[in-house]
Amino acid sequence: MVAGRTDEVMRRKDCRLSVPNLAAVTGVAETTVRNAIREARKLGLLTVEERQITGFRNDTNIVRIVSPE
């Protein structure tokens, strides 16, 4: 299952996993994932596209790595 997700990220050049799914795949807590994304965003290493469906529902965010490092 993880290999399929890796292929998807390589093909799309982004990550559309939810925070709980990303935490499960990487083996860390959800808070760690949120903190890492927040810090990388502040440093300009990635962008986060928030996808709002309605006032109360959201689709998963799209995270794109913009830094080659």
What are the Cα distances from residue 48, in Å, to 1, 3, 9?
24, 23, 15
Q: Is 65 left (phi over 0), alpha (psi -120 to 50) or beta?
A: beta
Question: How many domains are there within the chain?
Answer: 1
Q: What is the pLDDT of residues 42-62, one digit of tens each?
A: 998 888 888 888 878 888 888
Record the tokens describing residue 21, joined without a space. 């799914």
CA-nearest of 16, 24, 14 to 46 is 14
Are 67 and 45 contacting, i.e. CB atoms less than 8 angstroms apart?
Answer: yes
| Residue 3 predicted with pLDDT over 60 | no
Q: What pLDDT band is residue 39 in, cutting at 50, 70 and 90?
A: very high
Q: Which residues constitute the domain of residue 6?
A: 2-65
